[in-house]
Chains A and B, each alone.
Chain A
Amino acid sequence: MNDTVKPLPRWIDVGLIPIINVSIALLVSGLVILAVGENPIEATKVMITGAFGYDEGVGYTLYYATNFVFTGLAVAIAFHAGLFNIGGEGQAYIGGLGVGLAMLLLDASMPAVLLVPIAILSAALFGGLYAAVPAYLQAYRGSHIVITTIMFNFIASAIMVYLMVNVLINPGQQSPESREFSDAAQLPFMHEIFGWFGVTIAHSPLNLSIVWALICCVLVWVFIWRTKWGYEIRTVGFNETAASYAGIKPARVIMLSMCISGGLAGFVGLNEILGVQHRLLLNFTAGYGFTGIAVSLMGRNHPFGIVLASVLFGALYQGGAELAFEIPTITREMVVAIQGFVILFSGALAYMITPWMTWLYNRLSRSAVTPVEAEG
């Protein structure tokens, strides 16, 4: 008798189990929809049609996905270093502030060709620096980064409220918003870009940021798996003690990974402020930073997985809006609940089904092997 337990093959571990986990999350969400007296299958149909059924819906789905790629990558890069960055929300907020300040200062005096790179840089700089403070406190003073980044989310929100209400507000206006940027300081919408080539697509907030999001995915992949710094980050994440024996300085790795993480989160400001709103305002981050946690967990901290998870969450956001419109009993917050379930089942309970799968896999493979062994 062969009693050794075979480990799960890779395709089950990184392919099947995450899919099952997400399915459980969606199933539980379906139960919630049942509980409010609606038909989950009907709701799913409305959501899928809303997200992918027509041009405009696809545009919105991808526009949301753009934000999630940024915040998902941000969470992922910190995860690789063994850090949990819950501060994506605050870093995105401050990143947007960076974009807004740069544009308010420069939009009259520069052409778009210069303004867009400046916006990208200032988003990364502001987001990165805002993450650098908790990173420094973790690296050199031992303060736990989870707690400090939570606190920094609240501090960011207070800073923004103060600045918008007292400093940056457009004079003679009630709502706390800045003046609108000049035309040069606006990223073109995708429907405009397609229009230049004579292709007509429906209007949506989808803008050029999505291209930058995809470039970021490639850059992050190269950085994590093909550079010395990425190697150091992964080593520290895997085993900090071993890393320092190998001559890697964990404190520097923490600083590096968190600054990049904050910078990536800051790009939400690019999509929202430079791409869509064209002015600085409050609450444009709308929880995207927290969704990044779900996206990163679902995408297993890999850029490719993050793109897939971002599109799924983009679809959930857009489909959720449609759902709230079609079935008024279910509000948009349903998407927030679904997001929570995904974090629970693909994150906290990620290994819940692994023992079952191991048992099942061994059972199945043994019964497949036994006849051959009998012959031998």
Chain B
Amino acid sequence: MEDTFLFVVLTLDAMLRVATPLILCAMAGLFSERSGIVDISLEGKMLVAAFTSATVAALTGSPWLALFAGVSMATMMSLIHGFACITHNGNQVVSGVAINIIASGLTAVLGNAWFHRGGQTPSLPSEARFMPIELPFAEAAGSIPIIGTIYKEMISGHNGLVYVAIAMVLITWWVIYRTRFGLRLRAVGENPQAVDTAGISVAWLRYRAVLICGLLTGIAGTYLAIAQNASFVRDMTAGQGYIALAALIFGKWKPWHALGACLMFGLLDAVAIRMQGVSVQLIGEMPVQLIQTMPYILTVVLLAGFIGKAIAPKAIGIPYVKER
């Protein structure tokens, strides 16, 4: 009993760690997609940020400079996406694909050219990384049964950026639903003509959305490279940007729902890691691949309308062309 409880708590603890980049990316995608700009380049932006932050941390030894650099580069990529999709009315999916591929190629080339380690950046000492934070009284609370264990093992001892990610959901909800900017952002994703008629610039609104998207993917990438891991590895995002996109759709483009989806996908991943080679009663050995693909399968099933209905912002993917 005691063991099972600890197992559950530790799995949930792993879930939070795995879900953090997903949460940040899903919130990033939420801003962009709610404004009407499809963003399948969450993956690429996160990868660029991971590479930049790992490089800067290796060169300067400062995690804060690394965070700044990672966020800046991800935002740069966002601006390219915006330039193509907002200014030039380009195809948003094509632009996203381009950014993902550029990110994958460029980080590998530059990483290899600068560090000569086959695309990997040097391993970082702990001063150059974001380290886990022990919340107050964690040690003392550990002796209290159940609640204390949950507090010590699951809630405390995470990286600062994990708490940032959770806070980001609250902030996203507040910005989207409780501010004038959020109202306009939602409007521009549903009916840009109306926003334009009201005398508000569609392009500027969408640029701001895309910039916020870059900022958040930048934090996500930085977390991957210098908090969760200690260096950049080639293609280290490994599809997490797409899982975040899936979570966003699964969460029907709403912050709390998306958080739920991220946690669920994170849990699946945490369970998949723990289930590797473990034989379950009645079923036998679970194929890990099945658990790992669950996010994708579930998203397809949801999109097919078999569990609820995911309705995208109405103007998503359509460039706004002012009538002359």
Does B101 sit within 8 A of A, measured CB to CB? yes
Q: Which of these binds chain A: B138-146, B221-229, B298-306?
A: B298-306
* A334 B109 Cβ-Cβ under 8 A: yes
Tell which of B99, B239, B300 touches A148, judged by Cβ atoms closer than 8 Å. B300
* B303 A137 Cβ-Cβ under 8 A: yes
* B104 A333 Cβ-Cβ under 8 A: yes
Tell which of B109, B239, B296, B305 touches A330, judged by Cβ atoms closer than 8 Å. B109
Given contacts A36-B109, A37-B113, A336-B104, contact A352 B88 (CB under 8 A): yes
Does A347 sit within 8 A of B, measured CB to CB? yes
* A151 B105 Cβ-Cβ under 8 A: no
Q: Is the interface of B mostly helix, strand, loop or mixed?
A: helix
Does B166 sit within 8 A of A, measured CB to CB? no
How far in angstroms is the closest Cβ of chain A from B62? 23
A223 to B122: give the CA distance in the assembly, Å: 53
* B90 A349 Cβ-Cβ under 8 A: yes
Given contacts A84-B93, A348-B95, contact A330 B113 (CB under 8 A): yes
Please name all residues of chain B whose beta carbon is closer than 8 Å to the beta carbon of A337 when the two chains form the complex: 101-102, 105-106, 109
Please name all residues of chain A whose beta carbon is closer than 8 Å to the beta carbon of B97 when the two chains form the complex: 86, 290, 293, 343, 347
Tell which of A144, A154, A341, A344 touches B239, judged by Cβ atoms closer than 8 Å. A154
Please encode chain B, from 101 to 115, with 1 for each CB lying within 8 Å of some chain A CB and 0 for all others: 111111011101110
A161 to B287: give the CA distance in the assembly, Å: 10
Please name all residues of chain A whose beta carbon is closer than 8 Å to the beta carbon of B297 when the two chains form the complex: 151, 155
Please name all residues of chain A whose beta carbon is closer than 8 Å to the beta carbon of B70 when the two chains form the complex: none
Does A30 sit within 8 A of B, measured CB to CB? no
A290 to B40: give the CA distance in the assembly, Å: 14
Given contacts A37-B113, A141-B304, contact A162 B90 (CB under 8 A): no
Q: Which residue of B lies closest to A327 (CB)?
A: B113
Q: Which residue of A lies closest to B87 (CB)?
A: A352
Residue from the set A36, A142, A340 with the largest chain B CB neighbour count within 10 Å: A340
Give residues of chain A (310-343) contacting chain B, Cβ–Cβ below 8 Å.
329-331, 333-341, 343
* A141 B101 Cβ-Cβ under 8 A: no
Give residues of chain B (59-92) contacting chain A, Cβ–Cβ below 8 Å.
80, 83-85, 88-92
How far in angstroms is the closest Cβ of chain B from A5? 12
A317 to B181: give the CA distance in the assembly, Å: 46
A150 to B40: give the CA distance in the assembly, Å: 9
Given contacts A146-B40, A158-B289, A158-B292, contact A348 B109 (CB under 8 A): no
* B88 A349 Cβ-Cβ under 8 A: yes
Does A374 sit within 8 A of B, measured CB to CB? no
* A329 B112 Cβ-Cβ under 8 A: yes
Tell which of B40, B105, B242, B289 touches A161, judged by Cβ atoms closer than 8 Å. B289
A343 to B40: give the CA distance in the assembly, Å: 14
Please name all residues of chain B whose beta carbon is closer than 8 Å to the beta carbon of A151 when the two chains form the complex: 242, 246, 296-297, 299-300
Does A351 sit within 8 A of B, measured CB to CB? yes
* B84 A155 Cβ-Cβ under 8 A: no
Please encode chain A, from 28 to 66, with 1 for each CB lying within 8 Å of some chain B CB and 0 for all others: 000010011100000000000000000000000000000
Can you list 22 A-B pairs, Cβ within 8 angstroms, ordered by A? A37-B113, A84-B93, A84-B94, A137-B304, A141-B305, A147-B245, A147-B249, A147-B303, A148-B300, A151-B242, A151-B296, A154-B296, A331-B112, A331-B113, A331-B119, A333-B105, A333-B109, A340-B101, A340-B105, A348-B90, A348-B94, A349-B88
6 more contacts with CB within 8 A, not counting A347-B91, A349-B83, are A134-B300, A146-B93, A158-B290, A293-B94, A340-B103, A352-B88
**A positions within 8 Å CB-CB of B:** 32, 35-37, 84, 86, 134, 137, 141-144, 146-148, 150-152, 154-155, 158-159, 161-162, 166, 290, 293-294, 297, 329-331, 333-341, 343-344, 347-352
**B positions within 8 Å CB-CB of A:** 38, 40, 80, 83-85, 88-95, 97-106, 108-110, 112-114, 119, 234, 239, 242, 245-246, 249, 287, 289-290, 292-293, 296-297, 299-300, 303-305, 312
